[in-house]
Amino acid sequence: MNESEIDQKVRDCFLSQSLSAKSVEAILAKGQEARLVGERGSWWKPWASVAAAAAVVMLVAFQLGKQYDVSEFAREVAGEIAMRHNGSRPLDIEAHSFDEVQNGMKDLAFSVAPAAKKGLLSAYEIIGARYCWLEGQQGVHMRMRNRISGTLCTLYIASLNGPLADLKSTENEVHVGVNDVTMWEDSNRLFALVE
């Protein structure tokens, strides 16, 4: 056998092994049907991992949010105020009323006059005040004396902005060391009385 006869025999063998046109069409139709079902049924598969990751992030954020406790932050702020109360920094001005403090501290961005709890504060005599900062917010540290016991006390007033905004609508009494700190909101200001 020569080479061309061998080629012809191989060609005939392969052609005899081929599928009929009807069988080829049936296979192609099944493939097309499977592809359409796959496109419609599994469109979500690439997004499943994205959705799972988003769910995990939301769960972690929710847990962290639950763990943040405003009362713990109030305790930290009260501790900072009590520490300053027990310090010995000099006063910037001598004053005997809220008006005198306001007039003497011209750089304050807020009023020191309380709108609420005036009755509570009337039991104290103002001695003087100094500028201060509390959690990054401008404040005033007022030295006061209890009219009945003669004990020196501190009244802190700061605007409720920045981190202090978490203390809005709060009223806390915190015992820090030997001091009692009473905190309340008054016209978007934090008032804290240390005894």
Burial grade of 121 (CB within 10 A; 0-12, 13-18, 19 or more)? middle
Question: For a pLDDT cut of 90, what percent of the chain falls above it?
Answer: 11
Q: Tokens 């100094």 correspond to what residue?
A: 130
pLDDT over threshold 50, residue 67:
no
Tokens (6 digits) for 63: 């847990």
pTM of the model: 0.60
Q: Torsion over CA of 47, 53, 54 and 56, rounded to 10 degrees? A: 150
What digits encode the pLDDT tens for the residues 129-155?
989 888 888 889 999 999 999 988 889
Q: Are 167 and 135 in contact (CB under 8 A)?
A: no
Residue spans of the domains in the chain: they are 3-66, 69-194
**Collapsed DSSP state (helix, strand, coil) of residue 127:** strand
Lowest mean pLDDT: which of 67-71, 119-123, 158-162, 179-183? Answer: 67-71
- Where is mean pLDDT largest: 43-47, 48-52, 76-80, 115-119? 76-80
Mean confidence (pLDDT) of the chain: 78
Measured distance CA(107)–CA(127) in Å, rounded: 19
Please give the C-alpha separations between residue 134 and each of 15, 53, 59, 98, in angstroms, as whole numbers.
Answer: 91, 39, 33, 20
> Of the ranges 55-64, 124-133, 162-171, which is most confident?
124-133
% residues pLDDT > 70 (the chain):
78
pLDDT band, residue 103 (cuts 50/70/90) = very high
* pLDDT, tens digit, 9 for 90 and up, residues 14-38: 666 666 778 767 777 777 776 665 5
As to burial, measured by CB atoms within 10 angstroms (0-12 exposed, 13-18 middle, 19+ buried), residue 46 is exposed
Average pLDDT of 92-105? 90
